[in-house]
Structure 1
Amino acid sequence: MKAHTPFPGAWQLFRIWASIGLQSFGGGASTVLLIQRAFIDKYGWMTMEEFTHSWNLCIFTPGINLVALTVLIGRKLGGMWGIVASLAGMLLPSALVTCLIAAGFKLIQNLPTVQAIVHGVIPASGGIMLVVGVRFAQPLIELARKEGWLRLVMSAIIILLCASTIIIFKISVIPVLLAMALLGMLFFTSWRTPPEIATSREIAEEEGHD
């Protein structure tokens, strides 16, 4: 990640989000990847951990998660005007292009070339989703190094439970997310001694050894 650069103005936010919106071919996964590359890798305005926390919060909001993420990042970097500029940049140019394409797609949708393009985009989208998933896993691996592999094992269990519940039992996403959130509270809430007390005990033990 690059060194942190000064936060952008509203016009720069608009241009960045407009660029993201116009490049977001292949669905939401490609958009998430572009956002990560812009705000984390290129400008250093966020860390991967901050992005992951924001995305997790957006998962629990109704409606379009990417719109919620745009609002959170816009507010973090530019306040109220940052929200306005980010939403305008994300939605207006891409919506205009989408409307134009939709209007003309009926005329070309049955052409062999267009069908070939559609078939090629589907596996490409899967590859992009895989890259995004790996990037989301990176903070988890870093935490496992610091806090032990138990955290990683518990996270893997939650991932498998969530996926299998949705695939096998076809349960709605909302109760699954709520159940996984409760499991997360059970597994990941720190019940350890507060750092101040632990530090005092460590000092006392060291003095006793001396």
Structure 2
Amino acid sequence: MEGERGRGRTGAAKLDPSVINDEMEEQKKRDKIKEDGQFFMHWLKECTPFGFSPEEVQIALKRSPKDPLHYLQNKWLEIIKNAIVGVKFEKCNKGSYGIPSRNEIRLVLIECQGDITAAKKLCVKNRKKKINELFKKIDGRFQVSWDDAVQALSETELDVDQAYYTVQRYGLQELYEYLMSDFSKMVSEGQTEMEYLKGLIIERMKKKDSEDVYN
């Protein structure tokens, strides 16, 4: 009997210590993920009422885990401001790349995980691309200056289609201002705007006809 009991104890399955350790490590990881998730949700709830996105909260937790809200309200906003100024003074031989909006800078900073140098480079790269796309869309249909193209893209958050119509509006506004430059004369002669514009067009047509005859 004793021999049988001895054999029973000897033949019992033994747990591999490495397996136990692996299971413990996996459980620790699961607990850590759960803890991190709860921590993130806590700060997300604290930060979103102030207009910060989940991506911004994630960056803040990496940079300042003790008080990410304070980081976002102070350091993060300072980074955004500095990035805007940095892009503002970037220039090429045709002119500047314009002043990016706060939201435009926010997005590139998020993409670059808060790296201000990388964000400025990415912002300029994006603007170069959009400027080229806008001039390609215009394709010589009307004259647009570099500065007007940049301004139109800034006004439309880099929306090329909207910027296209914006630069058209610029051109019409300039034309209107040119035609109305002699507004005082129109008023003194008691003309309406339409009468005045009609007169200018007729005058221009006569001038064009005389130029054609001369040539």
TM (norm. structure 2) is 0.21
Q: Larger C-alpha radius of gyration, 1 or 2?
A: 2
- Given the two structures, how large is their TM-score scaled by the length of structure 1? 0.21
